[in-house]
Structure 1
Amino acid sequence: MSLYMEAPQKLPDFWLWEERRKKQGLVSFTLELTPRCNNACRHCYINLPAGDGQARERELDFDGIKKIVDEAAELGAMWCLITGGEPLLREDFEDIYLYIKRKGIFVSVFTNATLISEKHVQLFKKYPPRALEITVYGVTEKTYGAVTGKPELFAAFMRGVRLLLDAGVPLSLKTVMIRSNVHEFQEIAAFCRAHSSEPFRFDPFIHLRFDRDEKRNQEIREERLSPEAIVALEHSDSARHDALQKNCEKLVFNEDMDNPEGFLFGCGAGISEFYVNHEGFFMLCASLYGSGLLYDLKNGTIKNALDDFVPKIRAMRTTKTEYMANCGRCRIINLCLWCPAHAFLEMGQLDACVDYFCSVAKERYKKMLL
């Protein structure tokens, strides 16, 4: 029995809601509990083997996580996403989950569902997450195995989904589209729509690894869909295509952007949300990883990170001619994969242009005009 398995409070009883009404600022944060995973997906940017002892030793312990959650709550955070790796590998997952819930914070969980047990089902049924998001890599053992490297876990995945559905736990099902499973797109879409009331989402964009493992990065490049394949996939899904068409005017600027100062960050990274990796490093977003881009919360506070560290990162500029003439002024950049974080993972530079990203954006724009 968890130490935190108590009767849930009613929402009006949570002090956090009153605090949130009084202030603006921090809204959400993500906790990466582990980089370890029982799958071995070819496209993954982080996963290490489930039994990796060194990785386990580097993971924040429960006390370290409580400290971060406490401070985030004090600062007004209302939503936390628990992710990994596979977060259910953590033996203290239940305690972490319930500790966050007891703060009055909405909790979402990303999982591959292969480790779902009756105990997890009862936990999620009694203390429902804001969202329980499961990635569907394939709906046949062959395709699931081609993506994850673990065909033997397909049955566990299906069992986990079924246990949750039978218990009435609402699911959000999504997928990532890569070369190993794109042939099964329609079947995956049908499965997701049949088993979840949430809108079906798919992501055809995968970025390179944090550890810069070149062998693994080459596997990721091999799994990437071509720009033409990405656009054809989006065009084949009426909901996705209609959304792109509807928002065309918002996504595409009428003229080139004006950024003479060369600021790199035009997104909201680090403003109302942040990311904490498994070692306790504060990150502006889930992708911005590298030397000088992390803040160690073991030796500092979230408030200091938000007040001092984030502004320094967001103030970064460039005078690089290639960037200023291309990405820095591109009117279709919202159709692109480009951002400083992804550029750094691809090229080791925050201001690097990436040909693949540019090709995707141009192909998407061309199709939107049809």
Structure 2
Amino acid sequence: MTEEHSSPYAVTVDATSHHLWKDKIPLLGRLDMELTERCNNNCIHCCINLPEDDKDARRRELSTDEIKGILTEAAVLGAMSVRFTGGEPLIRDDFTELYLFARKLGMKVMLFTNGRLITPEIADLLARVPPLEKIEITVYGMTKESYEAVARVPGSYDEFRRGMQLLMEKGIPFVVKGALLPPNRDEIDEFEAWAATIPAMDTSPSYSMFFDLRCRRDFPEKNRQIATLRLSPEDGVSVLSRDRERYLKSMREFCSKFMRPSGKKLLACGAGHGGCVDAYGMYQPCMMLRHPDCVYDLRSGSLEDSMTNYFPKLREMEAENPEYLARCARCFIKGLCEQCPAKSWMEHGTLDTPVEYLCGVAHAQAYDLGLLEEDEKAWEVEDWQERIDRFVNEEHQ
């Protein structure tokens, strides 16, 4: 479209017709940035956090100028938004400077935070220069006892509540999400009732429950602890399908689009079409994939080079593990399964080893939806397309 529209004050044209974009295709839609792995919480389930006072981590983190340079290049490559996450992004002393820099570049800012460091000054900043995306806050409990049993920091509950109140008072849009853990699993109804009172919440809150292991493979003991906190596949499906009618409607739509064997390609998702910059300048195809063969050092390269030369090669990677090829590559419920190179890396230190827990979750969901019979394995099913069509069309029969 090249049609121009005029008014007495301006001429509006399609952006792609402007000389700045001539013969160019934007390489990035959004950039994810982990500003730090350090956090002021010490959550029992976290796959990334390091202590707030970890001096070595702080020393290795990208400097203010390095982050600004990455943000500037991302904007040149077409990124219209950036997600600041961590760790706890507000823990950085230069957060305000980085936030304003991104907004002056024209980027929307999505902020993932636990809310504890939302001070009156931060709330004023967010009100004065809106992020243009809803802030996302994870809630670990509805009481001091449950919240701090997860966060493991005295006083963290009161600080979280204060942060919420400041956002509410300033009219700053935010949404909340939960993590289902032993200290708070009995609070789902209370949490959802409270979440419904938040003006920006237009859907029920999402939950983490099938927790990831440590992305860095750095603390084996914590990995063992995280594994004990996961819901069983059956219990997880029960949570997902609590609102049965809405759940089935969404799953019919999902299954009509995303249910088919993925084949040999390892990155069968959107990973590599964008990426995440970690706290130390490594650019990875997705936030969780930290295998050393899959990351690009921005301190010695560029976003453009990674997107045009490095990531395309990663997207051509194929599985070699015979077990993966016999199961995952042929499995028609792969769309329900979180199995991916990042999960294999976290669980096994490889890119293509099946993760049994995730396989169990996907099969439990498929059994619940009627796509599989008891004891069937999805990779052995030959009439999978007919089963999907039948499930998708059940609503209209």
> Do the structures match in fold with TM over 0.5?
yes
Quote the offset at 1:146 in angstroms.
1.9
Map of 1:9 onto structure 2:
none
Q: Is the 8 A contact 2:83 2:111 kept in 1?
A: yes
**Does the alignment pair 1:178 with 2:178?**
no
Q: What SS is found at the alignment partner of 1:292?
A: helix
Map of 1:70 onto structure 2:
72
Separation (CA, whole Å) in 2 of partners of 1:73 and 1:258: 33
**Does the alignment pair 1:350 with 2:357?**
no
Separation (CA, whole Å) in 1 of partners of 2:65 and 2:93: 14
**Does the alignment pair 1:244 with 2:248?**
no
Map of 2:222 onto structure 1:
216
Q: Give CA deviations for 1:78-136 in whole Å, capped at 9, x if unaligned.
A: 11000110011111100000000000111110010011100011111011111211111
Separation (CA, whole Å) in 2 of partners of 1:286 and 1:66: 20
Q: How does 1:73-222 map to 2 (within 5 A)?
A: 73-129=75-131, 130-198=133-201, 199=203, 200-212=205-217, 213-222=219-228
Gaps of at least 5 residues in structure 2 are 1-11, 372-397
Quote the offset at 1:27 in angstroms.
0.5
Q: Is the 8 A contact 1:144 1:151 kept in 2?
A: no
Q: Give CA deviations for 1:19-70 in whole Å, capped at 9, x if unaligned.
A: 5796343101111111010100111111011111111111111100011011
Q: What SS is found at the alignment partner of 2:27?
A: coil
- Between 49-58 and 236-245, the greater mean CA deviation after superposition: 236-245
Separation (CA, whole Å) in 2 of partners of 1:353 and 1:285: 19
Q: Is the 8 A contact 2:215 2:289 kept in 1?
A: no
Map of 1:3 onto structure 2:
none
The alignment's TM-score, normalised by the length of structure 2, stands at 0.84
Q: How does 1:5-44 map to 2 (within 5 A)?
A: 23-44=25-46
Percent same amino acid at aligned positions?
37
Q: How does 1:315-326 map to 2 (within 5 A)?
A: 315-326=316-327
Separation (CA, whole Å) in 1 of partners of 2:85 and 2:148: 22
Separation (CA, whole Å) in 1 of partners of 2:304 and 2:235: 44
Q: Is the 8 A contact 2:47 2:213 kept in 1?
A: yes
Q: Give CA deviations for 1:311-367 in whole Å, capped at 9, x if unaligned.
A: 221121123221111011110011112111111111111110111111100101111
Q: CA RMSD in A?
A: 2.0
Separation (CA, whole Å) in 1 of partners of 2:16 and 2:88: 29
Q: Is the 8 A contact 2:262 2:331 kept in 1?
A: no
The alignment's TM-score, normalised by the length of structure 1, stands at 0.90
Quote the offset at 1:151 in angstroms.
4.6
**Does the alignment pair 1:53 with 2:58?**
no
Q: 1:337 to 1:17 in 2, by over 3 A?
A: farther
Q: What SS is found at the alignment partner of 1:247?
A: helix
Q: What SS is found at the alignment partner of 1:189?
A: helix
Aligned pairs, how many? 351
Q: Is the 8 A contact 2:42 2:51 kept in 1?
A: yes
Separation (CA, whole Å) in 2 of partners of 1:127 and 1:16: 28
Q: What SS is found at the alignment partner of 2:109?
A: strand
Q: Is the 8 A contact 1:142 1:151 kept in 2?
A: no
Q: Which has the larger radius of gyration?
A: 2
**Does the alignment pair 1:228 with 2:234?**
yes
Separation (CA, whole Å) in 2 of partners of 1:34 and 1:60: 9
Counterpart residue identity of residue 173, structure 2? P
Gaps of at least 5 residues in structure 1 are 1-11
Q: Is the 8 A contact 2:333 2:366 kept in 1?
A: yes
Q: What SS is found at the alignment partner of 2:33?
A: strand
Q: Which has the higher contact order (CA 8 A, sep 6+)?
A: 1
Map of 1:6 onto structure 2:
none
Separation (CA, whole Å) in 2 of partners of 1:219 and 1:73: 40
Separation (CA, whole Å) in 2 of partners of 1:82 and 1:16: 28
Q: Give CA deviations for 1:215-244 in whole Å, capped at 9, x if unaligned.
A: 111111011111011001112145445422
Separation (CA, whole Å) in 2 of partners of 1:42 and 1:252: 34
Counterpart residue identity of residue 141, structure 1? K
- Between 81-90 and 286-295, the greater mean CA deviation after superposition: 286-295
- Between 341-350 and 309-318, the greater mean CA deviation after superposition: 309-318
